[in-house]
Structure 1
């Protein structure tokens, strides 16, 4: 089979790999959709590499169909043809974190992660432990299932951490795929959403997904705009998705007294002084992806409420168009891409 590797310095190659063979408890998934994630760009933009383990097949937003069962996989647990999402971390399977659905927090061994220490999904087939597959509702597309496996699921996981949203104002800094997913979910869950970004196209999409107010932070002070939209009180809930340090500072400024801020963007330095914040009675959270259980719940919610997750994808590519696809994605000006397979 062919798989996509990043060779560094913004270069990609399609290389030949042996078709995967399932071991005990594993299955082979024929990939039908493999999403492009912003975290791909850290490796894509990195220095040139020439050998394993760096040259692993990329892609960690997979979705597809089971085509082969490994030894010990019961026919009652899985069948060839099952449509499945994939939770793209797996650990020992027996520690408390793994048993609670959080294998990315495994306390026994280093988690296995496609693109980091396992082959990923930018290929025709992927080998995965059966326990890391989740059923994809029949009404959802493979593209939606891929999004739920990472970016859209990350938004769901963060909102779950933040608690009941009904009737509350939630400001979401950053309207990339994760932020737009959060806007879509939060509006559906009964929140009043204020969407903040520097890109008008993203803000238009946020409005289409249910945002009540949109703020272009390149046109004025975002904190002032949030306070103006909340009668000077600030936002009861704030989510920061960009991972940019100055934006994280704005998120802290924009939250109301007794409010909650959830940081999910990777890379920001979040700083505060207790002299300035102690009497605001703030709750500060972090959230990293989601559990296997919540991935199933997220898909069921999207299915039940017919949310337009597919509309996150502005570009669909064939694997042999990967060079052009990542040149486009590297600009990070708008949209989300996905590789689709017959």
Structure 2
């Protein structure tokens, strides 16, 4: 079978591998769609998590079909279409016992420390696979993780339907964030970013105000929109620029901020903004404990990938696909590989 591999030094290539055989507790799946996540690009460039294990096959945003079962597998059946949730964990450490399995003391992650979905077939532990109904498309299923990352962070906030919310960053996580905030009943959602086309998508998905930070100062725009009060909820989904400082300055008193972006290094901020306004700032880094809810939202039609998944490529064209994402060509927001 075809399998894509990177050494974390900017190189990625194709290899021919034998189709795997599932061990006990595993299911062999045929990959149907796999999203190219920003963290995959970081992995290729050597910026993976501490447990990254090179050389590695990337890919954790996976939709697949079960084709063979290992001994003892009972939660999925042959023919099921499934969405992947990539964490493999011990289940016994303190973090696992508290439901924070993504912070397991012995964590392993598909696509980072174990081979991921940039291939035609894979054997994955059954607990990482969730069956999906015919109401969820392959492309939607491979974006369960992406939407779930934003929802996981939002679940750490106390959101009220009367809040004014801001999403900073109109990438996939931010555009799902706009939809999730509207689904929570928030009528007033501001979206900030640098790319007008993506801001237009955000408006189509429910943003009531967009701010191109090249044209307007985002803090001033948010303050003007809220009559000087600031935003109650801010969901940072950019991981770049001065979005953290912007979030602190644009927040209302007792405002809540969720940081979801992965930053390349330290950022300058004024902690007095947190102290004086009594802000709550939380981080969220995974789709943990959110995937079932995201699948249900896709089933109900309350989430869409329209305008978010903009490009699809055959697996054989992985180099063009990755280059398109890296260079942000042709209006790409999210690209998907189809083995």
TM-score, scaled to structure 1: 0.91
**Cα contact 1:143–1:310 (8 A) shared by 2:** no
Aligned with residue 261 of structure 1, among 253, 257, 260: 257
Shift, 1:275, TM fit: 4.3
Alpha-carbon distance between aligned partners in 2 of 1:336 and 1:98, rounded to the nearest angstrom: 31
Deviation string, structure 1 residues 72-123 (Cα, Å, up to 9, x no partner):
223xx2210111111111111333533555432113x1x1112322111011
SS in 2 for 1:309: coil
216-225 vs 241-250, which moves further: 241-250
Q: Secondary structure at the match of 1:4?
A: strand
Listed as ranges, the gaps of 5+ residues in structure 1 are none
Asked if the contact 2:321/2:335 (under 8 Å) is kept, the reply is: yes
Distance in structure 2 (CA, Å) of the matches to 1:303 and 1:335: 22
Q: Which residue number corresponds to residue 337 of structure 1?
A: 335
Could you say if the C-alpha distance between residues 277 and 307 of structure 1 is closer, same or farther in structure 2, counting changes exceeding 3 Å? closer
Contact 1:137 1:300 in 2 (8 A): no
Q: Which runs of 5+ in 2 are unaligned?
A: none
The reply to whether residue 184 of structure 1 matches residue 179 of structure 2 is: yes
Q: Within 2, Cα distance between the matches of 1:255 and 1:58?
A: 37
RMSD after superposition = 2.0
1:73 is matched with: 73
Count of aligned pairs:
331
Deviation (angstroms), 1:163: 2.8
Match runs of 1:1-342 below 5 Å: 1-7=1-7, 10-46=10-46, 53-74=53-74, 77-99=75-97, 101-107=99-105, 109=106, 111-149=107-145, 151-191=146-186, 192-267=188-263, 269=266, 272-291=269-288, 293-332=289-328, 334-341=332-339
The answer to whether the Cα contact below 8 Å between 1:3 and 1:17 also exists between their aligned partners in 2 is yes
SS of 1:260's equivalent in the other structure is strand
In structure 2, how many angstroms separate the alpha carbons of the residues matched to 1:99 and 1:296? 19
CA drift of 1:245 comes to 4.8
Deviations 1:289-339 (A, max 9, x none): 122x42111111221244222541100000111111111100236411001
The 1-side partners of 2:79 and 2:100 are apart by: 26
After superposition, the C-alpha distances for 1:224-270 in whole angstroms (9 at most, x for unaligned) are: 00101111111011111111251211111110001101111111635
TM-score, normalised to structure 2, is 0.91
Residues 81 and 218 of structure 1: CA distance in aligned 2, closer, same or farther (over 3 Å) = same
Q: CA deviation at 1:143?
A: 1.0
Q: 1-side partners of 2:85 and 2:92: how far apart?
A: 17
- Larger deviation, residues 266-275 vs 239-248: 266-275
In 2, are the aligned partners of 1:12 and 1:322 still within 8 Å (CA)? Answer: no
**Which has the larger displacement, 156-165 or 255-264?**
156-165
1:112-155: per-residue Cα shift (whole Å, max 9, x none)? 11232211101111111111111213201111111112x21111
- Report the CA distance shift for 1:136/1:24 in structure 2 as closer, same or farther (over 3 A): same
